[in-house]
Amino acid sequence: MTKESAVKQAYELAVERYAALGVDVNQVMEIMQNFHLSLHCWQTDDVVGFEKIADSLSGGIQTTGNYPGRARNIDEVRADILKALSFIPGTHRLNLHAIYGDFNGEMVDRDQVEPKHFQSWIDWGKEHNMKLDFNSSSFSHPKSGSLTLSNPDESIRQFWIEHTKRCRAVAEEMGKAQGDPCIMNLWVHDGSKDVTVNRMKYRELLKDSLDQIFATDYQNMKDCIESKVFGIGLESFTVGSNEFYTGYGAKYGKMVTLDTGHFHPTESVADKVSSMLLYVPELMLHVSRPVRWDSDHVTIMDDPTQELFSEIVRAGALDRVHYGLDYFDASINRIGAYVVGSRAAQKCMLRALLEPIAQLREYEANGQGFERLALLEEAKSLPWNAVWDMFCLKNNVPVGESFIAEVQKYEAEVTSKR
């Protein structure tokens, strides 16, 4: 039997098995086709970007490892993204940071970024059927320090307000060009290494900065705001905490970003979905894998990720969530890291969609706790992998682990020579 017919045969059996539980697999396949990740460009180059301003990553985040083959310029980043995409089923968006502008070797400071610096990305995205999302970048800059948008020094604060305003204008142009809103994320590392006695003051400043930044209404971009527990070197206080941004998002109708690495290690991000969606319009995800801290390990099919996607589906909120990835592992093949994490996120979504939810809810409504638990357990080993293989086959990307050899080939021919 050829691999292809084996995949098809297994798929047919899976369709029957799921149908018996009231799950329409063909419909799930269609939903999967319309499920788009927003791929984070920064896994290709360890969050370095193309500015000629800072020589190391700062702002509470850190990549560890120096595996050879990092993308060093815009052409290499683009080539690596396309290579990774060729192993990821479906069509996806690309999430850019302001430091990835096409600056042409020129020194363009953050308060000078303009849509023209992203025109070649807009064109490239169109050519490759990738819609763009965007992020302002407040890290890795001489004016970053510990405080940007909440800096009591008015000239520094205004510098970052100007940067962020300009980023929104860039996002607006991206959204206009692609006929679909560009999601722009705002994350600042602002905080304090040691005890502070001025929490209110910094938060008032950050709130005022946001008010200034969001004063302009746009039609083709949407804002999202991202909190964090702490950054490296900023362990005692984070201005933009979860409560800070959740409050802001709820009050002013802004989308909130949930980065799965930005909560206390035992806190369930999945549990936040249904609460937050009652008060904020939409959610943006930064799917990552925190190991002991916000370590940004490659996403895998672990329980927290599965639970998060399952909760979104159970909440009927598939279309109110944007699915960004945010991890950066510099210790293994970066394209491999990109592919493993993306496929893992897709597999979690697939499993979430294949849940026999009608039957489970019926059990719950009837007070049948044992039955609910038993089916939840059995559902874990239903043949979702046969559906996944078929999804890959249909999308002309490698089925199963066969992409390992392909990534190795690209490494031998391209990345190892950098």
Instruction: Give me the catalytic one of 83, 254, 286, 297.
Output: 286
Q: 133, 259, 282, 355: which one contacts ligand RNT (CB under 6 A)?
A: 259
Tally Cβ neighbours within 10 Å of residue 287: 27
Q: Whole-number minimum distance, CB 409 to Zn ion, in Å?
A: 31
Q: Whole-number minimum distance, CB 47 to ligand RNT, in Å?
A: 5
Binding mask 67-106 for ligand RNT (x = CB under 6 A): ------------------------------x---------
Q: Is 326 a known active-site residue?
A: yes
Q: What is the DSSP letter of 88?
A: S
CA distance 201 to 184: 26
Q: Whole-number minimum distance, CB 286 to ligand RNT, in Å?
A: 5
Q: Taking CB under 6 A as the rule, does residue 228 contact ligand RNT?
A: yes
Q: Taking CB under 5 A as the rule, does residue 286 contact Zn ion?
A: yes
Beta bridge mates, 185: 135, 224
| CB neighbour class for 189 (10 Å; exposed up to 12, middle 13-18, buried from 19) | buried
Q: Is 294 a known active-site residue?
A: yes
Q: What is the DSSP letter of 194?
A: S
Number of residues binding to ligand RNT, judged by CB under 6 A: 12
Token couple for 363: 């059990």
Q: Taking CB under 5 A as the rule, does residue 259 contact Zn ion?
A: yes
Helix (H, G, I), strand (E, B) or coil at 256: strand
CA distance 204 to 210: 10
Query: Would you say 296 and 61 are in contact if contact means Cβ atoms under 8 Å apart?
Result: yes
Q: Which does 344 bind (CB under 5 to 8 A by kind): Zn ion, ligand RNT, none?
A: none
Q: Is 102 a known active-site residue?
A: no
Q: Is 259 a known active-site residue?
A: yes
Instruction: Give me the catalytic one of 51, 172, 190, 259.
Output: 259
Q: Is 271 a known active-site residue?
A: no
Query: What is the 3-class SS of 275-295, one letter each residue?
Result: HHCCCCCCEEEEECEEECEEE
Which parts of this chain interact with Zn ion (CB under 5 A)? 259, 286, 326
Which parts of this chain interact with ligand RNT (CB under 6 A)? 42, 47, 61, 97, 135, 187, 226, 228, 259, 286, 294, 326
